């Protein structure tokens, strides 16, 4: 694609990087077929190629964002399916990140949008605030009962997504003493929303990694992905800088072989820290190091090998591949192979490349589109023979919770159970209905 940025514009490293990305696009349109919003809406401006034109026009002319551009950018899930499809290597992720930050700087949203975006940015990354907010949502849902649909958006979406019952925050398990033949020392990111909504995932990861002989140290806090995707890049960098500082501290105490993440949305963000801080003289090196250490938990287990299997589920499990895992980190085979090795029969979900509509805060801010994507995904899951759904991202677990369908678990919970850990609640429920399956 031809670009017409001026030398003055190109002096800004952000614009220079964007120009290089734009130049790679050859307008072929292959990406449109795998873009969830184009599949749903059939509008070129809701396809990657259409958005690329809009972003080019806005950035090349140094224009403030218009309501039309914002509408089409906001509808993008940042699922990165287009990056997997693109034969030219267009780095859409960095392009849309730049455009979202430009929108945030140049466009004044209606007050209602500002309020909700600000509330989400202040609440989701803070486990204490999130816990209070979810309790209030549960209370409100009880009060309004069937009348939730009459509430203004995005309240109905928020009430639907709030868990019926919050798991208790468990006391952190004591760090296991490093084994005499330690397989290494790793950091494990505690994260933010997952620690409130599904703390059992972190506990399962930790048990499993320790069973593999790894010495696990905790990295606390939010990675910054949630606010970054809202276009608040400075806010996102603040969170990222705290994670980087902690990793450096842990490195001073002893070598870290990896920084492990068990929510793939956060993993994609950590792997991008090197890019985020590339022009920051004080943090560029450390950020690049954290990115090089960042690994999804399934990658690490796959490389080290599972501990001995002591229980074989013998169950049909649908594997839902989160976009941040399959498109953001290009990890798809490892979780499936691990589940197979642990004795599960893995069913493919048709249209597995399409997003479920979760996408960070998308299911709150774009509830109509997110709900259509959810229904489409749930329909495909119901068409499989699966009695459980395994996935690798807490956002997908919340989005696809469906009383009428198979329950959701994190892949690592099943692997932990198969190698000696406790049964996740969803698996216990399934096994109690069909005890013969529990060998
Ligand atoms: S990131 Fe996803 S929704 Fe956005 S343009 Fe690419 S494929 Fe479409
Ligand atoms: S597939 Fe790649 S090169 Fe083709 S239109 Fe989409 S982004 Fe551009």
**126-130, 169-173, 177-181, 391-395: least confident range:** 177-181
73 C-alpha to center of ligand 2: Å? 17
Q: What CA–CA distance (Å, rounded) separates 371 from 402? A: 12
Contact 187, 247 (CB under 8 A): yes
Ligand at shortest distance from the CA of 51: 1
* Joined tokens for residue 374: 């959810």
Q: Give yes or no for residue 287 having a pLDDT over 60.
A: yes
- On whether residue 273 sits in a domain, the answer given is yes
* Token output for 37: 């919003």
Q: Which of 61, 91, 106 is the endpoint of a domain?
A: 106
Q: Which residues contact 70 (CB under 8 A, 6 or more apart)?
A: 103, 107, 109
Question: In whole angstroms, what is the distance from residue 68 CA to residue 187 CA?
Answer: 43
How many angstroms separate the CA atoms of 193 and 125, rounded?
6
Place of tokens 């399959």: 326
Residue 286 and residue 331 in one domain: no
Task: Please give the pLDDT value at position 156.
Answer: 85
R_g (Cα) of the chain, nearest Å: 22
**CATH code, domain with 288:** 3.40.50
Q: Whose CA is closest to 352, among 388, 387, 369, 327?
A: 327
Residues 201 and 290 placed together within one structural domain of the fold: yes
Where does 216-349 have alpha helices with state H? 225-228, 233-253, 264-270, 273-276, 284-293, 297-304, 323-326, 333-341
How confident is the model over 350-356, as a mean pLDDT? 97
Cis (ω within 30 of 0) for the bond into 154? yes
Neighbouring C-alpha atoms within 13 Å toward the C-beta of 342: 31
Tell me the pLDDT band of 4, cut-offs 50, 70 and 90. very high
pLDDT band at 432 (very low <50, low <70, confident <90, very high): confident
Which whole number is the average pLDDT over 153-175? 72
In a domain, 175, yes or no: no
Residue 353, both tokens = 């490349």
Take residue 301 and report the two structure tokens written for it.
Answer: 């287990």
- Measure 372 CA to ligand 2 centroid, in angstroms: 25
- Three-state secondary-structure class, residue 187: strand
Question: Residue 162 has what pLDDT?
Answer: 81
For residue 255, tell me if it sits in a domain.
Answer: yes
d(CA 92, CA 83): 6
For residue 27, report the distance from its CA to the centre of ligand 2, in Å.
5
Mean pLDDT of all residues in 178-193: 83
Where does a domain end: 251, 276, 301? 301
**Contact between 271 and 400 (Cβ < 8 Å):** no
Q: Tell me the pTM.
A: 0.93
Instruction: Please report whether residue 26 resides in a domain.
Output: yes
- List pLDDT tens digits, range 93-124: 999 999 999 999 999 999 999 999 999 999 99
- pLDDT given for residue 166 in this prediction: 72
Average pLDDT rounded to a whole number, residues 227-250? 97
Say if residue 274 is in the same domain as residue 367.
no
Strand partners, 189: 219
- How many independent structural domains does the chain possess? 4
Q: What is the chain's mean pLDDT, rounded?
A: 93
Nearest partner of 417 among 434, 439, 395, 400, judged by Cα = 439
Q: Which residues line ligand 2 (CB under 6 A)?
A: 25-31, 48-49, 52, 82, 85-86, 88, 90
pLDDT band at 355 (very low <50, low <70, confident <90, very high): very high
Indicate which ligand has the atom closest to the C-alpha of 85: 2
CA 139 to chain centroid, in Å, comes to 27
Q: Return the H-helix or E-strand segment holding 144.
A: helix 127-144
| 27, 48 contact by CB (below 8 A) | no
Total length of the chain: 439
Same structural domain, 198 and 242: yes
Has residue 319 been placed in a domain? Answer: yes
362 and 383 housed in the same domain: yes
Please tell me whether residues 282 and 391 are part of one structural domain: no
pLDDT of residue 40: 98
CA distance 275 to 395: 24
pLDDT tens, 22-44?
999 999 999 999 999 999 999 99
With H, G, I as helix, E, B as strand and everything else as coil, classify residue 34.
helix
Q: Which residue has the tokens 């509430």?
A: 151
d(CA 75, CA 78): 9
**Is position 178 within any domain?**
no
Instruction: Give 139: exposed, middle or buried? Use CB within 10 Å, 0-12, 13-18, 19+.
Output: exposed
Give the pLDDT confidence score for residue 331 in this predicted structure: 98
Same domain, 297 and 340: no
Choosing from 254, 274, 301, the residue where a domain stops is: 301
**Residue 174 pLDDT exceeds 60:** no
- Cα–ligand 1 centroid distance for 127 (angstroms): 29
Among candidate residues 356, 395, 110, 419, the one with its CA nearest the CA of residue 269: 395
For range 216-229, the mean pLDDT: 96
Q: What is the pLDDT of residue 16?
A: 96
> Atom 8 (ligand 2): residue with closest C-alpha?
25
In a domain, 179, yes or no: no
427 and 362, same domain (yes or no): yes
Ligand closest to Cα of 78 equals: 1
pLDDT in tens, 43-63: 999 999 999 999 999 999 999
Whether the Cβ atoms of residue 184 and residue 155 lie closer than 8 Å to each other: no
* Amino acid 168: pLDDT: 67
CATH number where 54 lies = 1.10.1060.10
For residues 158 and 333, the model is more confident at 333
Minimum CA distance residue for ligand 2 atom 2: 86
Hey, what are 245's tokens? 């500082």
Q: According to the model, what pLDDT value does residue 336 have?
A: 98
Whether residues 292 and 313 fall in one domain: no
Pair (58, 127) in one structural domain: no
Ligand 1 in contact with 360 (CB < 6 A)?
no
For residues 238 and 331, membership in a common domain is answered with no
- pLDDT of 181: 55
Helix, strand, coil fractions of the chain, as percent rounded to 5 = 55, 10, 35
Residues 286 and 315 in one domain: no
Bridge partners, residue 214, by sequence: 184
| Residue 348 bridge partners (DSSP) | 319
d(CA 70, CA 72): 6
Is the predicted pLDDT of residue 435 greater than 70, yes or no? no
Q: Closest residue (by CA) to atom 7 of ligand 1? A: 35
As a whole number, mean pLDDT of residues 129-154 equals 83
1 lies in some domain: no
Domain that includes residue 365, residue range = 308-437
Token pair 């932990």 is found at: 416
pLDDT at 437: 54
Percentage of residues in the chain having pLDDT higher than 70: 94
Q: Per mean pLDDT, which range of 178-192, 210-224, 328-342 is the poorest?
A: 178-192
User: What pLDDT score does 170 carry?
Assistant: 59
Mean pLDDT computed over 413-439: 84
Q: What percent of the chain has pLDDT over 90?
A: 84
């Amino acid at each position: 694609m031809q670009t017409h940025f001026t030398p003055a514009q190109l002096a800004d490293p952000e614009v220079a990087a964007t120009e290089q990305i734009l130049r790679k696009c050859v307008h072929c349109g292959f990406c449109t077929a795998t873009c969830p919003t184009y599949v749903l809406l059939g509008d070129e401006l809701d396809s990657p190629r259409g958005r690329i034109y809009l972003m080019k026009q806005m950035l090349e002319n140094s224009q403030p964002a218009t309501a039309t551009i914002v509408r089409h950018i906001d509808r993008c899930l940042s699922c990165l399916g287009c990056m997997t499809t693109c034969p030219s290597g267009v780095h859409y992720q960095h392009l849309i990140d730049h455009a979202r930050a430009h929108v945030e700087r140049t466009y004044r949203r209606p007050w209602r949008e500002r309020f909700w975006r600000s509330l989400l940015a202040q609440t989701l990354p803070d486990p204490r605030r999130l816990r209070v907010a979810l309790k209030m949502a549960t209370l409100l849902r009880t009060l309004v009962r069937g009348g939730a649909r009459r509430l203004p958006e995005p309240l109905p979406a928020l009430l639907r997504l709030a868990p019926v019952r919050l798991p208790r925050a468990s006391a952190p398990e004591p760090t296991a003493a490093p084994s005499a033949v330690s397989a290494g020392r790793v950091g494990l990111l505690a994260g933010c929303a997952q620690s409130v909504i599904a703390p059992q995932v972190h506990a399962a990861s930790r048990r499993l990694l320790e069973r593999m002989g790894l010495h696990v140290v905790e990295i606390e806090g939010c990675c910054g992905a949630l606010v970054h995707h809202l276009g608040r890049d400075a806010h996102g960098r603040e969170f990222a800088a705290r994670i980087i500082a902690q990793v450096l501290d842990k490195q001073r105490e002893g070598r870290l072989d990896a920084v492990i993440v068990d929510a793939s949305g956060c993993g994609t963000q950590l792997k991008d820290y090197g890019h985020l801080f590339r022009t920051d003289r004080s943090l560029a090196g450390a950020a690049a190091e954290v990115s090089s250490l960042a690994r999804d938990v399934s990658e690490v287990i796959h490389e080290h090998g599972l501990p001995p299997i002591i229980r074989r589920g013998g169950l049909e499990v649908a594997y839902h591949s989160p976009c941040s895992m399959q498109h953001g980190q290009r990890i798809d085979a490892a979780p499936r192979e691990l589940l197979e090795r642990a004795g599960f029969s893995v069913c493919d979900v048709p249209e597995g490349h399409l997003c479920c509509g979760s996408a960070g805060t998308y299911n709150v801010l774009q509830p109509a589109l997110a709900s259509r994507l959810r229904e489409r995904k749930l329909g495909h899951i119901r068409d499989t023979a699966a009695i459980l759904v395994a996935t690798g991202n807490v956002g997908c677990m919340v989005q696809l919770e469906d009383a009428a369908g198979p329950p959701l678990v994190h892949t690592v919970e099943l692997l932990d159970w198969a190698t000696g850990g406790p049964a996740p609640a969803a698996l216990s429920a399934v096994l109690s209905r069909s005890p013969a399956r529990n060998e």
